[in-house]
């Protein structure tokens, strides 16, 4: 009974580590595949060493026969074998690591995406392969499948770290430095990422999504995101609330207004309605959550830079309609 | 009265602890100072542990609202800072301060007033850190305190200034204690104790002390630059005008990596001491163990960039540090082999102390193996800054440092107090800690795989990290209960503990030659030492000299390598000046949180205190002072 | 071994204090070495990423710092010669040399004060400026500490405390003066001379 329940517990634990949105065993890109393979080599060696050491420790402590046949000379030989074994295993580890290098199809060339680490969200700038600037968006990144895409990672705030475990390892974003990450998504899908360098009060909820789509859909998406907002009469109240309540001070909607606050600059909302989540992947993007967020951002993410915006029911509804329509 | 009784009376008088509270503040004798260090470190350990418990309570469930982000960030920062700076370093230095003079056969450390000063500075630092937490201005950017988050622009308020101050106190305290331990070990060993006949624990303290001397300056420079950037506006870390935020990381980790070996080596020294005693045979491979410790001390300075693999440094640089980080497994492995060999060929007696050492081997090996895993750059790129690393370092720090230190506490408790800790309670203590620890920290490896980053105050329900976090928190409470049993044991032993003679374990090193607890003067006569295991030799120990004066504090000076007697020196007696200097130092650095002028003014107070410290007392021709 | 008649005065390597001051010197040297390594680190990072042409502004004149090296060398010499005199029991003469050392060192402080008032940059202008200010100020503090300590030593010497036999304090103060002088030379070279070479 004890053995059975222990086994079940172990299997549950082992199995549970293979699920979850940010699991790095998902292996959706070449780098993450290589790392998973490396893991199993490391795990094999580590298990072997642990079992061996534990065996000798427990046996050495508990054995009954304490004759003098194991003298210092024999122990000396054992030490030499142990050293040879240890060095061999270390060499195996080092070679498997170095062999990994960069996965195939690692490309040089222009970066098509620049991500800037902000306090506590992700600003994304897209470029075409020739290097011309296209547009700005935030917190949700779209990439094409089947080919590598080069991402430039910078910060104009503190140090952050860009990490999408399903695709690749993390790369830090440091002020004054330019780091690059090349990722390739093998298949379409949505992959979650999270900031992996402590960056202050709301580090815990600074996440993002990467959507991998076909090359064709990627071009269409870029074209749509590049378009400015055209004012519509039915959204007049919503637009007015957006400007008069101060939202426009920090949030740009290209075609409506440009943000002016340099320090507390927030995500570009021009195509906000096309995003699946809000507040750096904290809540799903629907009217209920968005309304709650606008009225009380400090309750959801204490310490973030967005102040509460008190609005009447009518104003809030109009604003929500307007924002969700920004596809 | 016999001549011996007269001698004892005179020695008691010369080495007396003055009575009263002021008297207690004036004590410079290392028996007392060492105990103060150990007690204070253990208190900070439990306080930092409570903070860990609060963190586990907050993280036990997703989107929990027990503690908000501001408080949580202060709590995890103080937890880490206190564990590393207020427990790990002072505990091993305190154990060294207490045991080294006993093990090498001298009456005190080289600079008794400096010991007292460095203790008070440590205490001031610790009180400042926990005081700031009570006032809710504790440091909140992690124990590693990266810039630019820690600079004035992003950390408004005094939190980080408190950090820089506390770190400075610990730097001063640790460096002073390190120099003192080195000088004591090199120059004050009993006549005949060459370096080859020095116990392994003393070697571990010597290597540790040298590491402190060369590693701490990294964080000294970093904290000075940080304090100046924040206080007066220098720009060492501002990338727009020639500075660099990675500079902080290099400086911090130049210290930070050797720091963990600074904590580990004395713990390994404890294991090398305890295992042979309870296996009733000398340590197998003494020379190999000593050389391994020296090798670890040196190699550990070549690893620091492994904390920075993801910062965008060139691959070739990463590769060098990756290989070096893996290579340090070799000397660690040699020591493990020697310990197991000693067990294998000895006749083990399973006291609590030995159990702690055996538990250490397994837990530390697991932690060391996950360490070799994260030494591999591509793997580290996934696991860096996730709970996998949290699991790794708790395995090596709790397994590699806390387990041996508790083993050492159980082993040396009769020497500290004259009573033996209860073995039944001790075994409950050990097993609950072992089980609780593994239940608390093993799941964190899996959480790392599931993508849970470090240093987060909460997580969303949809991440599915809840069950493993809950399991980990339950384990943490079992662990806490295990440590509570330790406290129960101390209290029980105080009232009902079995009395211990000078050498209840039949151990071989010189500290067991002194009484339990030792007199302030330690040994009636400093013995001549001819062996690595002096108390296991058939010959009785004989005094090394006649003619040392007993009406003042005298010690013997010997040559560094051979231990040949060279000279007699006089040590100072009780004095208030170390406390005065520590207060002046405290004013300088705590004041500087508020204004640089406190530092300037206190500079002169420090000068006055040092003058008072060294002021020669009459009559001058007693040769008492410099 | 009968040690009853052995002397307890040791103004040399036999006394723990000698090793103690050496320990302090090793620690401070490591601190300086790390400061200088950080200086070169920033230089290299700035050059390789084209962030700022190091040193990013005007390089200060080396007139005052060079004069100061001469004055500091005098201080070191006067303490050395004072030690020689103490061993011949000429304690009053040593006292006057200690005074001379203090006076000249005050000159060093005064010149450095003048120099820093006239630096072509403030400490917050760029990282090079921060280094020059911080390293110069720390050395200033150490020279000041040396003056204060030597003044006390000199006073005790006039009072007859230091003799041919009992002079460990003189030895330690002298060693520390050697260090104050010697540690300045690499710092001087790094912050005033090396920026003049543009690699």
DSSP string, B380-439: HHHHTTBHHHHHHHHIIIIIIIIHHHHHHHHHHHHHHHSEEPPHHHHHHHHHHHHHHHHH
User: Taking all residues of chain B, what is their mean pLDDT, rounded to a whole number?
Assistant: 94
Residues A130 and A39 in one domain: no
Given this model, what pLDDT does residue A1 score? 43
Given this model, what pLDDT does residue C39 score? 96
Whether residue A20 and residue B463 make contact (CB cut-off 8 A), yes or no, is yes
Asked if the C-beta of B319 comes within 8 angstroms of chain A's C-beta atoms, the answer is yes
Report the gap between the CA of A263 and the closest CA in chain C (Å).
22
Tell me: the pLDDT tens digits for B460-473?
Answer: 999 999 999 999 99
Residue B626 has pLDDT above 50, yes or no: no
CATH code: domain of residue A238: 2.60.40.420
Given this model, what pLDDT does residue A65 score? 75
Tell me: the pLDDT tens digits for B8-38?
Answer: 999 999 999 999 999 999 999 999 999 999 9
Asked if the C-beta of A262 comes within 8 angstroms of chain B's C-beta atoms, the answer is no
Residues A248 and A272 in one domain: yes
User: Taking all residues of chain A, what is their mean pLDDT, rounded to a whole number?
Assistant: 89
Instruction: Select from B348, B456, B465 the Cβ nearest to the Cβ of A203.
Output: B456
Listed residues A65, A100, A135: the one ending a domain: A100
- Residues in chain B with CB shorter than 8 Å from the CB of C24 are 179
Q: Which two tokens stand for residue C28?
A: 């401070």
Asked if the C-beta of A175 comes within 8 angstroms of chain B's C-beta atoms, the answer is yes
Residues A82 and A170 in one domain: no
Could you tell me which of C30, C20, C32, C14 has the C-alpha nearest to residue C172?
C20
Average pLDDT for B557-564: 94
Report the gap between the CA of C45 and the closest CA in chain A (Å).
10
| Residue A16 within any structural domain of the chain | no
Report the gap between the CA of A83 and the closest CA in chain C (Å).
35
Whether residue B234 and residue C134 make contact (CB cut-off 8 A), yes or no, is yes
| Residue A50 within any structural domain of the chain | yes
Residue A18: pLDDT band (50, 70, 90) is low
Pick among A101, A169, A180, A280 to test the B interface (most B CBs inside 10 A): A169
Report the gap between the CA of B367 and the closest CA in chain A (Å).
10
| Residue A39 within any structural domain of the chain | yes
All domains in chain B, ordered by first residue:
244-500 (1.20.210.10)
Tell me: the pLDDT tens digits for B260-294?
Answer: 999 999 999 999 999 999 999 999 999 999 999 99
Mark B395-430 as b/e (b = at least 16 C-beta within 10 Å). bbbbbbbbbbbbbbbbbbbbbbbbbbbbbebbebbb
**Angle at which helices B245-279 and B352-374 pack, to 10 degrees?**
150
**Could you tell me which chains touch chain B, where touching means 3 or more CB pairs under 8 A?**
A, C
Asked if the C-beta of C133 comes within 8 angstroms of chain B's C-beta atoms, the answer is yes
Average pLDDT for C23-44: 96
Residues A318 and A268 in one domain: yes
Whether residue A158 and residue B146 make contact (CB cut-off 8 A), yes or no, is yes
Could you tell me which of B48, B60, B116 has the C-alpha nearest to residue B613?
B116
Whether residue B235 and residue C130 make contact (CB cut-off 8 A), yes or no, is yes
pLDDT: which is higher, B624 or A200? A200
Residue B125: pLDDT band (50, 70, 90) is very high
Residue B44 has pLDDT above 90, yes or no: yes
Residues A39 and A67 in one domain: yes
Residue A106 has pLDDT above 60, yes or no: no
Listed residues A176, A205, A224: the one ending a domain: A224
Average pLDDT for A166-171: 94
Given this model, what pLDDT does residue A37 score? 86
Whether residue B626 and residue C17 make contact (CB cut-off 8 A), yes or no, is yes
Listed residues A189, A224, A259: the one ending a domain: A224
Residue A99 has pLDDT above 90, yes or no: no
Please, are residues A302 and A288 in contact by the beta-carbon 8 Å criterion?
A: no
Please, are residues B183 and C20 in contact by the beta-carbon 8 Å criterion?
A: yes
Instruction: Select from B70, B369, B453 the Cβ nearest to the Cβ of A50.
Output: B369
Given this model, what pLDDT does residue B514 score? 92
- Residues in chain B with CB shorter than 8 Å from the CB of C16 are 110-111, 183-184, 187-188, 557, 569
**Domain C16-196 fold:** 1.20.120
Report the gap between the CA of A16 and the closest CA in chain B (Å).
8
Report the gap between the CA of B583 and the closest CA in chain C (Å).
19
Asked if the C-beta of A299 comes within 8 angstroms of chain B's C-beta atoms, the answer is no
Least confident of A151-155, B392-396, C12-16: C12-16
The percent of residues above 90 in pLDDT, for chain B, comes to: 93
Tell me: the pLDDT tens digits for B387-436?
Answer: 999 999 999 999 999 999 999 999 999 999 999 999 999 999 999 999 99
Asked if the C-beta of C121 comes within 8 angstroms of chain B's C-beta atoms, the answer is no
Domain count, chain A: 3
Q: What part of B 324-383 touches A (C-beta under 8 Å)?
A: 326-327, 329-330, 333-334, 336-338, 340-341, 343-345, 347-348, 350, 358, 361-362, 365-366, 369-370, 372-373, 375-382
The percent of residues above 90 in pLDDT, for chain A, comes to: 67
- What would the DSSP string read from start to end of chain C? -B-TTS-----STTSHHHHHHHHHHHHHHHHHHHHHHHHHHHHHHHHHTTS--TT-SPPPPSHHHHHHHHHHHHHHHHHHHHHHHHHTT-HHHHHHHHHHHHHHHHHHHHHHHHHHHT-SS-TTS-HHHHHHHHHHHHHHHHHHHHHHHHHHHHHHHHTT---SS--HHHHHHHHHHHHHHHHHHHHHIIIIIGGGS--
Beta bridge partners of A191: A210
Q: Which two tokens stand for residue C126?
A: 């760029």
Given this model, what pLDDT does residue B586 score? 96
Report the gap between the CA of A178 and the closest CA in chain C (Å).
9
Q: What part of B 594-623 touches A (C-beta under 8 Å)?
A: none
Q: Which two tokens stand for residue C26?
A: 């090793």
Nearest residue on chain C to A176, alpha-carbon basis: C51
Residue B624 has pLDDT above 80, yes or no: no
Average pLDDT for C57-63: 89
| Residue A5 within any structural domain of the chain | no
Residues A137 and A220 in one domain: yes
Domain ranges of chain C: 16-196
Q: Which domain holds residue A48?
A: 22-100
Q: What part of A 120-159 touches B (C-beta under 8 Å)?
A: 157-159
Average pLDDT for B553-564: 93
The percent of residues above 70 in pLDDT, for chain B, comes to: 99
Residue B515 has pLDDT above 80, yes or no: yes
Angstrom distance (rounded) from CA A91 to CA B454: 30
Angstrom distance (rounded) from CA A85 to CA B258: 26
Average pLDDT for C115-135: 93
* Residue B490, number of CB atoms within 10 A of its CB: 18
Residue C10 has pLDDT above 90, yes or no: no
User: Taking all residues of chain C, what is their mean pLDDT, rounded to a whole number?
Assistant: 92
Residue B147: pLDDT band (50, 70, 90) is very high
Given this model, what pLDDT does residue C128 score? 94
Average pLDDT for B192-217: 97
Pick among A36, A50, A60 to test the B interface (most B CBs inside 10 A): A60
């Amino acid at each position: 009974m004890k053995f059975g329940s222990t086994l079940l517990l172990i299997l549950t634990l082992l199995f549970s580590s293979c699920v979850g949105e940010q699991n790095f065993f998902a292996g959706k890109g070449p780098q993450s595949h290589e790392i998973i393979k490396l893991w199993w080599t490391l795990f094999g060696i580590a298990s072997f060493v642990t079992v061996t050491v534990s065996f000798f420790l427990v046996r050495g402590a508990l054995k009954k026969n304490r004759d003098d046949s194991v003298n210092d000379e024999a122990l000396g030989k054992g030490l030499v074998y142990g050293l040879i074994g240890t060095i061999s295993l270390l060499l195996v580890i080092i070679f498997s690591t170095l062999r990994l290098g960069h996965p195939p199809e690692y490309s040089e060339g222009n970066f098509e995406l620049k991500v800037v680490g902000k306090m506590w969200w992700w600003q994304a700038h897209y470029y075409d392969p020739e290097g011309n600037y296209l547009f700005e968006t935030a917190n949700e990144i779209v990439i094409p499948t089947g080919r590598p895409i080069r991402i430039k990672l910078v910060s104009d705030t503190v140090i952050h770290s860009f990490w999408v475990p399903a695709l690749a390892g993390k790369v830090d974003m440091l002020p004054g430095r330019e780091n690059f990450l090349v990722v390739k998504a093998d298949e379409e899908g949505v992959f979650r990422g999270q900031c992996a360098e402590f960056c202050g009060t709301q580090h815990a909820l600074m996440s993002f999504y990467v959507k991998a789509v076909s090359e064709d859909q990627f071009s269409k998406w870029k074209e749509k995101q590049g378009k400015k907002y055209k004012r519509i009469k039915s959204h007049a109240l919503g637009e007015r609330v957006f400007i008069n309540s101060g939202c426009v001070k920090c949030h740009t909607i290209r075609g409506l207004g440009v943000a002016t606050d340099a320090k507390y600059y927030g995500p570009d909302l021009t195509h906000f309605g096309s995003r699946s989540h809000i507040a750096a992947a904290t809540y799903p993007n629907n009217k209920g959550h968005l309304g709650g967020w606008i009225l009380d951002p400090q309750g959801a993410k204490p310490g973030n830079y967005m102040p509460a915006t008190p609005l009447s029911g009518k104003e809030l509804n109009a604003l929500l309609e307007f924002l969700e329509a920004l596809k | 009265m016999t001549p011996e009784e007269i001698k004892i009376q005179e020695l008691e008088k010369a080495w007396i602890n003055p009575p009263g509270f002021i008297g207690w503040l004036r004590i410079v004798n290392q028996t007392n100072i060492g105990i103060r260090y150990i007690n204070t470190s253990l208190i900070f350990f439990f306080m930092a542990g409570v903070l860990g418990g609060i963190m586990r309570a907050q993280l036990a469930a997703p989107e929990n609202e027990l503690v908000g982000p501001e408080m949580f960030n202060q709590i995890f920062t103080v937890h880490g800072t206190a564990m590393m700076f207020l427990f790990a370093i002072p505990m091993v230095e305190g154990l060294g301060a207490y045991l080294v003079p006993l093990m090498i056969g001298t009456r005190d450390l080289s600079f008794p007033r400096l010991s007292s000063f460095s203790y008070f500075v440590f205490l001031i630092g610790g009180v400042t850190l926990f005081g700031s937490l009570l006032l809710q201005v504790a440091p909140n950017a992690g124990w590693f305190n990266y810039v630019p988050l820690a600079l004035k622009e992003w950390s408004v308020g005094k939190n980080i200034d408190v950090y820089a101050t506390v770190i400075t106190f610990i730097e001063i305290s640790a460096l002073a204690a390190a120099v003192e331990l080195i000088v004591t070990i090199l120059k004050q060993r009993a006549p005949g104790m060459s370096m080859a006949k020095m116990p392994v624990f003393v070697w571990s303290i010597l290597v540790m002390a040298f590491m402190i001397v060369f590693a701490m300056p990294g964080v000294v420079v970093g904290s000075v630059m940080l304090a100046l950037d924040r206080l007066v506006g220098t720009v060492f870390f501002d990338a727009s005008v020639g500075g660099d935020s990675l500079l902080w990381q290099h400086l911090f980790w130049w210290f930070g990596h050797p720091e963990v070996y600074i904590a580990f080596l004395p713990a390994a020294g404890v294991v090398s001491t305890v295992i042979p005693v309870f296996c009733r045979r000398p340590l197998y491979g003494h020379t190999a163990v000593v050389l391994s410790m020296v090798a670890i001390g040196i190699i550990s300075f070549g690893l620091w960039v492994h904390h920075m693999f993801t910062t965008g440094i060139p691959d070739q640089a990463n590769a060098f540090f990756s290989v070096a980080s893996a290579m340090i497994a070799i000397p660690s492995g040699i020591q493990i082999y020697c310990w197991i060999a000693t067990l294998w060929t000895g006749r083990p007696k399973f006291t609590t102390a030995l159990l702690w050492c055996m538990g250490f081997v397994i837990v530390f090996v697991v932690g060391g193996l996950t360490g070799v895993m994260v030494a591999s750059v591509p793997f580290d790129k996934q696991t860096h800054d996730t709970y996998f690393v949290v699991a790794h370092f708790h395995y090596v720090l709790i397994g590699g440092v806390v387990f041996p230190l508790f083993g050492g506490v159980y082993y040396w408790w009769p020497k500290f107090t004259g009573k033996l800790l209860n073995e039944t309670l001790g075994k409950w203590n050990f097993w609950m800690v072992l089980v609780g620890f593994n239940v608390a920290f093993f799941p964190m490896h899996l959480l790392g795989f599931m993508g849970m980053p470090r240093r987060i105050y909460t997580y969303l329900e949809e991440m599915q990290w809840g069950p493993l976090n809950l399991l980990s928190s339950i384990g943490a409470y079992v662990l806490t209960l295990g440590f509570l049993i330790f406290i129960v044991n101390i209290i029980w032993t105080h009232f009902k503990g079995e009395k211990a003679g000078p050498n209840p374990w039949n151990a071989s090193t010189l500290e067991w030659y002194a009484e339990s607890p030792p007199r302030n003067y330690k040994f009636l006569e400093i013995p001549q030492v001819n062996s690595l295991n002096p108390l296991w030799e058939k010959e009785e120990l004989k005094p090394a000299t006649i003619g040392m004066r007993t009406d003042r504090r005298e010690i013997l000076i010997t040559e560094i390598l051979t231990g040949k007697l060279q000279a007699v020196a006089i040590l100072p007696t009780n004095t208030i000046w170390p406390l005065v200097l520590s207060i002046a130092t405290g004013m300088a650095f705590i004041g500087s949180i508020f204004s640089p002028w406190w530092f300037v003014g206190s500079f002169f107070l420090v000068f006055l205190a040092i003058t008072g410290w060294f002021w020669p007392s009459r009559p001058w021709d007693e040769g008492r002072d410099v | 071994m009968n040690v009853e008649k052995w002397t307890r005065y040791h103004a040399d390597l036999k006394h723990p204090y000698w090793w103690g001051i050496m320990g302090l010197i090793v620690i401070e040297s490591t601190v300086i070495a790390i400061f200088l390594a950080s200086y070169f680190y920033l230089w290299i990072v700035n050059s390789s990423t084209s962030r700022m042409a190091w040193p990013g502004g005007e390089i200060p004149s080396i007139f005052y710092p060079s004069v100061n090296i001469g004055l500091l060398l005098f201080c070191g010499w006067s303490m050395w010669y004072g030690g020689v005199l103490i061993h011949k029991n000429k304690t009053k003469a040593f006292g006057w040399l200690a005074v001379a050392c203090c006076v000249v060192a005050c000159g060093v402080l005064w010149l450095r004060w003048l120099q820093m008032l006239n630096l072509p940059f403030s400490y917050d202008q760029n990282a090079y400026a921060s280094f020059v200010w911080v390293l110069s100020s720390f050395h200033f503090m150490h020279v000041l500490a040396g003056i204060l300590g030597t003044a006390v030593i000199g006073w005790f010497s006039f009072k007859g405390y230091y003799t041919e036999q009992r002079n460990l304090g003189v030895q330690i103060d002298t060693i520390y003066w050697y260090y104050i002088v010697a540690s300045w030379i690499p710092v001087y070279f790094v912050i005033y001379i090396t920026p003049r070479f543009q690699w």
